[in-house]
Structure 1
């Protein structure tokens, strides 16, 4: 009996692990947009799993005087995604009001180090989640033809723009993981 339970447990673990490595289109989207959404959501989930249990002092940890905190990096991910919402869905860049809200989050640096601290991880993740929610609303209205479109005056198609958002998240996830390992 024990062997059967052990084999069943191993099978469940194996099936679960293999299912996590399947990229497929999310329901409610056209095929290529749905695959992109699946990958964007997977990357965002990885960021969230990495930071969700951190305390304020861990979120605010700075590796050195020029580093960005984990909180700042999460806000930076949200700001970058917000920029690409405006860039791809509205064919423009940030206006002055948006620059005021998102500028420091985009550029990070000294001003961000002073401004983005002392808040729980839920503060940062709520902003990130709100931005993603809007991205998904926009993407539900788009199709694979839109994804392949190079907007007039631009050098990249919409697919490349959103691929960049995803790889940007991946890059900063690496920084977040490094910072998390160095927290004293």
Structure 2
């Protein structure tokens, strides 16, 4: 690698390890995939930062009988990302076992309100981070051509699918922030 290449590599590493609020290519990924990864990671970092200090009672808080618990919403984010993993990387939907594992979290509602309570924050974040790590590992195997491609029989390209994962996380992060503001004062 020439001197300019070494300097560029150091600059990229510096951006990814020291600077905040930077969206762009990441080491180990093609340029567009790396940019997408930086956006995905920014959102997951925001989710983590928002919930990391909540106790079980706060994670279980229910504003009313139609609302979602923060823990359920974190599981919903993990389930949606797990779905898009199989949808974009394997060109399929959940199999029976995956559907059983993720269905309540995907659908939210009464079942999720009952199932996702009584856990500490590490329970939810460990699952969320495990799903994200799998996404990051799978993204390393793909390139910008894959990102722009529209799989046969699909009505979206892979970039749109992962953009949707990000907008979905952003939307539910707003919901989590609202619930957090409504938590009973301790």
Larger radius of gyration: 1
Question: Where in structure 1 are there 5+ consecutive unaligned residues?
Answer: 1-18
State the 4+ residue runs in structure 1 displaced beyond 4 angstroms. Answer: none
1:24 positional shift:
1.4
Distance in 2, Cα, partners of 1:122 & 1:25: 30
1:22 positional shift:
2.0
- 1:82-161, aligned counterparts within 5 Å? 82-161=82-161
1:21 positional shift:
2.5
Q: How far does the alpha carbon of each residue in 1:82-136 deviate from its partner, in whole angstroms, 9 at most, with x for none?
A: 0000000000001111100000010010011111000000000000011001001
Residue in structure 1 matched with residue 38 of structure 2 by the alignment: 38
1:163 positional shift:
0.4
Question: Where in structure 2 are there 5+ consecutive unaligned residues?
Answer: 1-18
Residue in structure 1 matched with residue 12 of structure 2 by the alignment: none
TM-score (norm 1): 0.89
Distance in 2, Cα, partners of 1:117 & 1:154: 36
Distance in 2, Cα, partners of 1:115 & 1:93: 23
Distance in 2, Cα, partners of 1:21 & 1:50: 17
Q: State how many pairs are aligned.
A: 166
Q: How far does the alpha carbon of each residue in 1:6-55 deviate from its partner, in whole angstroms, 9 at most, with x for none?
A: xxxxxxxxxxxxx4222111110000000000000000000000000001
Q: Does 1:56 align with 2:61?
A: no
1:165 positional shift:
0.3
TM-score (norm 2): 0.88
Q: Does 1:79 align with 2:114?
A: no
